[in-house]
Amino acid sequence: MTIQWFPGHMTRAKRQIEEKLKLIDVVFELIDSRIPQSSRNPMVDEIVGSKPRLVLLNKADLADPGRTAEWTAWFRALGHEAHAIDANSGAGVKEIPAKARELMRAKIERQLAKGMKPRPVRALIVGIPNVGKSTLINRLAGRSAAATGDRPGVTKGQQWIRTGSDLELLDTPGILWPKFEDPNAGSLLAATGAIKEEVLHIDEVACFTLQILAADYGDVLRDRYGLAHLPERLPDMQSAAEVLEAIGRRRGCLAGGGHVDFEKAAGVLLRDLRSGKLGRLTLESPIPVTVNGADANETR
pTM (2 d.p.): 0.85
Does domain 12-178 fall into CATH 3.30.1510.10?
no
CA angle 171, 174, 175 (to 5 degrees): 125
Region 227-233: mean pLDDT is 91
CA distance 67 to 73: 10
Q: Where are the domains of the chain?
A: 12-178, 201-275
Region 81-97: mean pLDDT is 96
CA distance 131 to 88: 11
CA distance 277 to 225: 11
What stretches of the chain show up as alpha helix (H) in DSSP?
A: 8-20, 43-48, 65-77, 96-103, 105-113, 133-141, 183-192, 202-216, 218-225, 237-250, 262-275, 296-299
**In terms of DSSP bridges, do strands 159-162 and 167-171 run parallel, antiparallel, or are they unpaired?**
antiparallel
pLDDT digits (tens, 9 = 90+) for 41-77: 877 888 888 899 999 999 999 999 999 999 999 999 9
Q: List the CATH code of the domain at 201-275.
A: 1.10.1580.10
Q: Is residue 291 scored above 50 in pLDDT?
A: no
Q: Is residue 223 scored above 50 in pLDDT?
A: yes
Contact 137, 126 (CB under 8 A): no
